[in-house]
């Protein structure tokens, strides 16, 4: 795995790797994943139609946790980051009325991690 550096596109910070390597998330971060995180292989039960949106949300919260650690000296546990992701999925669910079942599957996956 790579260390955090500005030369690698979308390279996840160490705090992000901690969340993504967490075994209950069912996927592991490899070098290719770090360069193309949207191509991560996920459990087949998760619908692909909202994958990009949820993955962006996941990476956004990992990034926010990384910034909080660096700039505010506030460390977030993986469980805390996942709770924030879950809360945002709930908050945005009204925008996904036609895809409610698909979004719910992702929400349940995040909640059970």
Inside any domain, residue 83? yes
End-to-end CA distance of the chain: 23
Which residue range forms the structural domain that includes residue 108?
48-113
Q: What is the pLDDT of residue 68?
A: 93
Q: What is the pLDDT of residue 30?
A: 63
Nearest Cα to Cα of residue 18 among 65, 50, 72, 52: 65
Inside any domain, residue 85? yes
For each of the chain's 113 residues, which pLDDT tens digit applies?
434 334 444 445 555 555 444 455 666 556 666 677 667 777 778 898 998 899 899 889 989 998 999 999 999 888 899 999 999 999 999 999 999 999 999 999 999 87
Q: How many domains does the chain have?
A: 1
Inside any domain, residue 108? yes
């Amino acid at each position: 795995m790579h260390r955090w550096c500005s030369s690698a596109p979308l390279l996840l910070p160490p705090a992000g790797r901690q969340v993504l390597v967490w075994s209950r998330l069912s996927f592991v971060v490899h070098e290719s994943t770090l360069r193309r995180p949207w191509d991560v292989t996920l459990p087949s039960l998760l619908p692909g139609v909202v994958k990009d949106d949820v993955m962006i949300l996941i990476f956004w919260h990992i990034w926010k946790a990384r910034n909080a650690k660096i700039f505010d000296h506030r460390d977030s546990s993986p469980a805390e980051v996942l709770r924030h992701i879950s809360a945002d999925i709930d908050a945005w669910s009204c925008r996904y009325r036609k895809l409610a079942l698909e979004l719910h599957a992702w929400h349940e996956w995040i909640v059970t991690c």
